[in-house]
Amino acid sequence: MTNTRSGGKNRPGARNIDASAPTREQITAMLEQRGRPMQRRDIVAALEVKSEDSREILRRRLQAMVRDGQLIKNRRNAFGLPARMDLVKGRVSAHKDGFGFVIPDDGGADLYISPREMRKVLNGDRVLAGVTGTDRQGRREGMIADVLERANENIVGRFVEENGIALVVPDDPRINQDLMVPLADTAGARPGQVVVAAIVTEPTEHQPPVGRIIEVLGQSGAPGMATEIAIRSHGLPFEWPDGVEAAAEAFGDSVPEAMKTGRKDLRDLPLVTIDGADARDFDDAVYARRQGNGWRLVVAIAEVSAYVVPAGALDEEARYRSTSVYFPNRVIPMLPEALSNGLCSLKPALDRLCLACEMSINDQGVVKRSGFVAAVMKSSARLTYSQVSEYFENGVLKHHQNTRGVTRNLDDLQSLYKALRAARLKRGAIDFESIEYGFHFDQRGAVTGLVGRERNDAHKLIEECMILANVEAARFLLRHTLPAPYRVHASPPEGKLEALTQFLQGQGIRPPWRDNPAPKDFETVVERARGRPDEHLIMAVLLRSQSLAAYQPGNEGHFGLALKAYTHFTSPIRRYPDLLVHRAIHHLLVRGKTSDYAYTEAAMSELCAQCSHNARRAEDAERDVVDRLKCAYLETRIGEEFDGMVSGVTSFGLFVELDYGRISGLVHVTGLPNDYYHFDPVAHRMTGERRGQVFQLADRLKVRVAAVNLDERKIDFELV
């Protein structure tokens, strides 16, 4: 859990630089050479810092290096190097049972932190920890030496008042300390309500955190509360700072003629947008034409960089948010609506600026030539996935005036898709087929049901076109030396691969790899699983075995897509890395000098880390809301029966995933037929000692909803 809104405390800011003051590198090198901690006066003498201004800058720089974990200030007020003090710098990852780990910044082995030491910190805090030994399991064990950065300014939780003592029980199970609240600072909250509390006093070894309530959200099960809780629990910025919306609205609702000057005119092309029925921001349009032994493909992407310029108010906020967040009943956009749903959105019959990737593709689905151009376009149609899918099936484009240019474009896009699909299969990209579930809401905003949404050929067509454009953007950037964000997806880590191998063998599937699998090996498993009763379970485990994709300034390819180079270019309205890629491409198109570019390698590395973190934060928040809504729905169905499949086996029971909505819950071991059960973690099996009854992965069961705990997002089933 991170900050909600703190007035820009963690926003990027400029640093004071004085060429006459020692740099961080010079300070570090000198301390390394001397081999001992040194007080500030000794550092001043050793580095021959003369002027008062330079001494003051050195003082601030030393403080900043301590704050960033580059230096440690000991009890003698001497500055030393953490590595020489056997200290580990990293971020705290707390467990709901009280213990935790320090995840080192340098990627080394995690450091186990005991519950007693965890009293000093909260989940997400950045710390320096000392290694004190090893525990009984052979793990490195440590103690908290210093807290470098507190991750939590506010905590969301349930208000409790008993015997004159007020507490906030955190909603996030990883925040394993209750927040004490003085009775004078409860803001009128009533027991059981969900509140937001600001931390006034940080936790210590002898005292829990103390805070004051700053917002009362309401009852946890109220309609819309799931989203409100997730926004604040995950620290999502949801309010616009002063001036940001005004800056977006100042551009008006139409593109000025002056901004069209010097751009290629694509308004005669019957470009179309294809999106979901409820989409409001249209950031990509496509056009294909069959030519000889191949196709011409144009992927036109909404122009954002013309309006959102580096260091402006719009850019600072977009950078701070990094991504739009999509909840089932609400969107928190990266850009104000005047741009995201207005001037940047590729609405039909309106002139819009765009950055287009033009490609020549052969019959084998291989791009032979490509180029980028700043252009002006006019979308010929706003189409939905279901419209296009039906057109592919029966040749009728419903709910649209069938213009020949639009339908011919769709015909050529369909033939191109078949070639691109064949090329994808040939290179061995992993194709995880899945059904996404949405929610039905009543007028109050309460969940009344779930609905599955399968991907059709229209979804896959747009996906393939976007992948092509992203690949060509990566290749274009690689031919030059500008720092830019690449989307990197590594092969599965060794630990996950071992667990996956055991799982597949237990399901009767022989993994087609020995040591280092290729993407094609995973696609082979996907094909072997297709049509099996446990296909969905296998797909889910395959997906969980993958590494997390991340943004980084160096290209290392994309394992899942089986691509040597990949970036994100196609969604600058909702993703900041795409906007950075657009800026880099524009800089190259006008033949700008590297020295004039807005970003250094170090700055781009910092941006990539921030965007990766915020993207994961958004995914966690979206998943949190979905889990809450599923619990809220089943809370209204207690006592009803559902069919499902065993998706996990533990020593304490069976996790069952319902066919309806892919909702998961637990059948506790005490709810199984009366027996002594023995758990086999390798075979993922539980066997009754007396009756010999076996429960294992992929077993089909009928269960009854027994109980739902909305606060803890837990669902209990019982066997029928």
For 17-29, letters b (16+ CB in 10 Å) and e give: eeeebbeeeebee
Q: Quick one: fold of 637-719?
A: OB fold (Dihydrolipoamide Acetyltransferase, E2P) (2.40.50)
CA dihedral 422, 507, 714, 99 (to 10 degrees): -100
Region for 305 from its dihedrals, namely left if φ exceeds 0, alpha if ψ lies in -120 to 50, beta otherwise: alpha
Which pLDDT score, from 0 to 100, does residue 432 have? 79
Segment 687-710 shows an average pLDDT of: 93
Q: Per-residue pLDDT tens for 116-131? A: 999 999 999 998 888 8
Residue 75 pLDDT grade (very low, low, confident, very high; cuts 50, 70, 90): low
- Provide the 10 A C-beta neighbour count for residue 60: 14
pLDDT given at position 331: 95
Beta-carbon contacts of residue 220 (< 8 Å; ≥ 6 apart) = 158, 192, 194, 229, 710, 711
pLDDT grade for 9, boundaries at 50, 70 and 90: very low
Contact 231, 332 (CB under 8 A): yes
Dihedrals phi, psi of 585, to nearest 5 degrees: -65, -45
- Provide the pLDDT confidence category of residue 242 given band limits of 50, 70 and 90: very high
Start and end residues for every CATH 1.10.10 domain found in the chain: 24-82
Token pair 């994808």: residue: 424
**Weakest-pLDDT range from 40-49, 409-418, 576-585:** 40-49
Structurally, at CATH architecture level, domain 154-219 sits in Beta Barrel (2.40)
Integer Cα distance of 600 and 17 in angstroms: 16
Are 664 and 657 within 8 A, CB to CB? yes
Strand partners for 436: 453
**Which regions of the chain carry the CATH code 2.40.50.700?**
154-219
CA distance 720 to 715: 16
d(CA 98, CA 176): 6
How many degrees, rounded to 5, is the angle at CA 279 between CA 563 and CA 376? 70
- Which CATH code for domain 24-82? 1.10.10
Please report how the helices 494-506 and 535-544 are oriented relative to each other, as an axis angle in degrees rounded to 10.
170
433, 463 contact by CB (below 8 A): no
Closest by alpha carbon to 680, among 650, 646, 647? 650
Which comes out higher in pLDDT, residue 68 or 426?
A: 426
The pLDDT tens digits of the residues spanning 187-238 come to 999 999 999 999 999 999 889 999 999 999 999 889 999 999 999 999 999 9
Q: How many CB atoms lie within 10 A of CB 201?
A: 12
Rg of the Cα trace of the chain?
Answer: 28
Residue 11 clears pLDDT 60, i.e. is over it: no
How confident is the model over 443-448, as a mean pLDDT? Answer: 92
**CATH code for 86-149?**
2.40.50.140
Q: Is the pLDDT of residue 526 over 60?
A: yes
CATH 2.40.50.140: which residues of the chain? 86-149, 637-719
- Residues comprising the chain, all counted: 720
- Percent of the chain past pLDDT 70, that is, above it, reads 97
Overall average pLDDT of the 369-376 stretch: 98
